[in-house]
Homo-oligomer: A and B are copies of this chain.
Amino acid sequence: MSLPEAEVMPVPEKPRDTVPTQVFREVMGHLASGVTIITAAQQAAPVGMTATAVCSVSAKPPMLLVSLTAGSRTALGVEQSKAFAVHLMAHDSQNYAEQFAAAGDHFAGVSYRRDEQTGVPVLQDVLGYFLCLVEHAVDIADHVLFVGRVVECEVKAPGHHPLVYFDRKYRKVALSESQPGSLEPWGSTQDYGLPGWGLPT
């Protein structure tokens, strides 16, 4: 190979280190997140956990995803029931979020019904919920992304404050303050001039 040819060869990319887990946790803690409880059914038993790793995927058709530790009871339940429910928790239901994040019987004293087809427990005292049938399961590192098609959803307590997690604490949002926004509550917003589904308000 002649020198001129060698000169135009691309410089090999320097491999880049991954950030330390502890630093990632600290920064990720600064992504404010609505607190949810994710439920499913494992061998007919209700399972569930408190989580913030919930994300809208598409609106047409309505789909959302949850990221769960592979092998966790809730992940096994989602695999078995091929369905999951995501409950949006209200600020006055912090005790439920704590119960589903701790050891012990998660469903003690919790009102719920079982979905007839999937057996998934649907909690009653929530700000809102989604019931989803799993359409995709994607293994990423030690987690599984479950993507579900939404077959039921409802706002059950309109006007209630959501329970929010930020910087390792439960938080409340100020409902009265703020101006109307034009941002859709998912990933697309107005990427003008190209397909998208942001709705100007």
Contacts and interface: CB of A to CB of B under 8 A. Distances in A.
Contacts of A30: 34, 88, 127-128, 155, 162
A50 B171 contact: no
How many residues of A sit at the interface, in one of the four size bands? 35 or more
Contacts of A191: 49, 69, 72-74
A170 B178 contact: yes
Contacts of A25: 59, 184-185, 199
Contacts of A102: 182, 190, 192
A21 B60 contact: yes
A57 B141 contact: yes
A165 B179 CA distance: 11
B55 A24 contact: no
Nearest to A195: B71
Interface in A24-43: 24-36, 38
A53 interface: yes
B18 A61 contact: yes
A177 interface: yes
A95 B3 CA distance: 52
20 contacts: A18-B62, A19-B151, A21-B60, A24-B59, A27-B129, A28-B130, A30-B128, A32-B88, A33-B185, A52-B186, A53-B55, A55-B55, A55-B67, A60-B142, A65-B145, A69-B191, A101-B198, A164-B164, A170-B183, A172-B174
Interface of A: 13-14, 16-21, 23-36, 38, 49-74, 88, 97-98, 100-103, 117, 127-130, 133, 136, 138, 140-143, 145, 147, 149-155, 162, 164-175, 177-199, 201
